[in-house]
Chain A
Amino acid sequence: MTSFDRDRTPSRRHFLKQGSLIGGMAVTYPAWAAAVVDLGLPGGPSQRALTGGFPQKGPMILQRSRAPMLETPFETFDRGVFTPNDRFFVRWHWADIPEAVDVAAFKVAVRGHVNTPLSLSMADLLKMPRVDLAAVNQCSGNSRGYFQPRVAGGQWGNGAMGNARWTGVRLRDVLDRAGIKSGAVAVRFNGLDQPTADTAPDFIKSLDIEHARDGEVMLAFEMNGEQLPLLNGFPLRLIVPGWYATYWVKMLNDIEVLDAPDKNFWMAAAYRIPDTPQANVAPGQTGFKTVPINRMVPRSFFTNVADKATVKSGAALPLRGIAFGGDCGVAAVEVSADQGKSWKKATLGRDAGAYSFRQWTTQLARPRSGKLTLQVRCTNTKGEVQPGEPNWNGSGFMRNVIEQVELTIA
């Protein structure tokens, strides 16, 4: 679809218009970077620069340079279900991040409520039984910029997500090698990144012991068949299939088995959601119970037509996109051209696993000239379907409303 490329790919002409404002600015940048992306955030600010300035990364939407927050340009998702490593989104909390890692010297500790504390090298891990798994990694606040009323935080469009084939070892195997003592209740994970302010809370996350030992949670040393980009957690990253990315600790160098619930800030105060259906509350509402954010919920997107695009009349309109079930597979993807009165089932692409993106395709027969609103919704294998109304919470977490695009048929 050329309509997609025309409308969502950053426009050089658009840049040149902006360029009149910045004449004489003493910066140089590659030609491809001469662009801004408009994320369509209600009320703005909506424009972001594309940047190629980050190591091992192609052009990315710049949300913040330090600590890095880089969004995947959405057209990337039209190219297939696996997100290329050099376009995979990046999000760090603290800016003290190693710029170099000596893979021969790197060690991950396994300690705490265990029989035999370990210090495992990458060679040790490479020699253990190996597993691989396709899984979506999605920021808790992906799409936060579309919340209304707007909420503070990283103002992401829909590109704070990606799907990769992760290769590594089972966390269970690593824990069994150390031997978990009876009475263990949780496992806590830390990486090489450090707070920039003294006494500030280090970014650490934990999982219940049963979850940590479920045989699916992994330590990954490869992503799409290559070592991880440094900014995505090289040399080792925790993979928590079906759960939000906050748990997927990067540059993982410490695994601590706990004999009491984790009360650390990043579990007890941050990344909490209302304990309500769809983590939904009314703006201004108080007094609700909260729980740590956890499993993901189903989503689906158009990838070959962008909102506000113009497409040619008089021909069938092919439609294509991606979907994921959250913490289980995709049962169905449906498209509506009549504001949800009727839904047409799309054809699902190859199944790369329950936690993966899945491509869908369908076709609309000769849409009439004029405005056309299309919606897409995913139903997962647990029977959950995306809601027609957006959820709201003050943190901007877990958006999964049915997506729509408004097209002009001309």
Chain B
Amino acid sequence: MTPTGKSVVGIGAFMLALGVLAGLDARPISAAEKSTVTANGVTLHSVSTKFPDPGRLFPGGSSADAINNNCLACHSIGMVLTQPKMSRAEWQAEVNKMRNTYKAPVADADVPAIVDYLANIAVGK
């Protein structure tokens, strides 16, 4: 990744962090949502909500293809881009943990590109 690309990752992370601030969808109230349970002075109301759509890709264009294609199924980008500066070996260990322990279905062929991307994240303010 070029130095320019690195700064794009840093700024992009901040820009995209704001993307989640968009409001919630309005949804019709279902029958289940109206149901309640009451006993001994406490009433509990069913809840129907919607979590915000992260809707965000790792920035960086084609350099981010592998990480975008493999990692977003389980988690959004935020916590990845807020890690402290980590070595390539440390990022490799994280990717290994995701695959081996948390069973992320990442193809062997995609691993080097993911680790490359992570090892080149610019840690800004």
Near A by CB (< 8 A), chain B positions 1-55 give 10-11, 13-15, 17-24, 30, 32-33, 35-40, 42, 44-52, 54
Contact A29 B40 (CB under 8 A): no
Comparing A38-46, A308-316, A373-381, A397-405, the segment that makes contact with chain B is A38-46
- Tell whether A230 pairs with B47 under 8 Å between CB atoms, given A22-B15, A45-B124, A65-B76: yes
For residue A48, CB closer than 8 A to chain B, the reply is: yes
Q: Is the CB of A55 within 8 A of B50?
A: yes
Using a Cβ–Cβ cut-off of 8 Å, how many residues does chain A contribute to the interface with B? 71
Interface centre among B36, B79, B123, B125 (most CB of A within 10 A): B79
1/0 per residue, CB under 8 A from B, across A152-193: the answer is 101100000000000100000000000000000000000000
Answer yes or no: A339 CB below 8 A from chain B CBs: no
Q: Are B82 and A227 in contact (CB under 8 A)?
A: no
Kindly state the separation between the CA atoms of A230 and B73 in the bound complex, as whole angstroms.
Answer: 22
Q: How far is the CA of A253 from the CA of B61 in the complex (A)?
A: 43
Is B74 an interface position by the 8 A CB rule?
yes
Instruction: Say whether B74 contacts A103, CB under 8 Å.
Output: no
Indicate if the CB atoms of B102 and A152 lie closer than 8 Å.
Answer: no
Contact B102 A104 (CB under 8 A): no
Judged by a CB distance under 8 angstroms, whether B113 is at the interface is: no
Q: Bits for B41-83, please: 1 = Cβ < 8 Å to A, else 0.
A: 0101111111110101000000000000000011110110111
Query: A221 and B46: CB pair below 8 A?
Result: no
Q: Is the CB of A197 within 8 A of B86?
A: no
Q: Which of B15, B51, B74, B85 contacts A97 (CB 8 A)?
A: B51
Whether A25 sits at the interface, judged by CB under 8 Å, is yes
Least CB distance, A120 to chain B, in whole angstroms: 12
For the complex, give the distance between the alpha carbons of A136 and B50 in Å: 28
- Residues of A near B86 (CB, < 8 A) are 152
Chain A: CB-nearest residue to B93: A152
- Which of A72-80, A121-129, A211-219, A241-249 lines the interface with chain B? A121-129
Q: Which of A45, A123, A127, A222 contacts B81 (CB 8 A)?
A: A45
A49, B39: Cβ atoms closer than 8 Å? no
CB pairs A–B below 8 angstroms (23 shown): A27-B22, A29-B23, A43-B85, A44-B84, A44-B123, A45-B123, A45-B125, A49-B14, A53-B20, A53-B21, A62-B78, A65-B56, A95-B74, A99-B49, A99-B50, A99-B51, A100-B30, A102-B32, A104-B46, A105-B32, A152-B90, A155-B84, A197-B103
Interface residues of A (CB under 8 A from B): 18, 21-22, 25, 27-30, 33, 36, 38, 41, 43-49, 51-56, 62-69, 94-95, 97, 99-105, 121-123, 126-127, 130, 145, 150-152, 154-155, 167, 195-201, 221-222, 227, 230, 234-235, 265, 269
For the A-B complex with A65-B76, A152-B90 known, give 10 more contacts whose Cβ atoms are closer than 8 Å. Answer: A51-B20, A53-B23, A53-B52, A62-B17, A64-B75, A64-B76, A95-B74, A103-B45, A197-B73, A234-B47
Using a CB–CB cutoff of 8 Å, the interface residues on chain B facing chain A are 10-11, 13-15, 17-24, 30, 32-33, 35-40, 42, 44-52, 54, 56, 73-76, 78-79, 81-86, 90, 94, 101-105, 123-125
A-B interface, 7 closest residue pairs, ranked by CB to CB distance from nearest: A29-B21, A55-B49, A126-B39, A150-B84, A100-B48, A102-B32, A53-B52
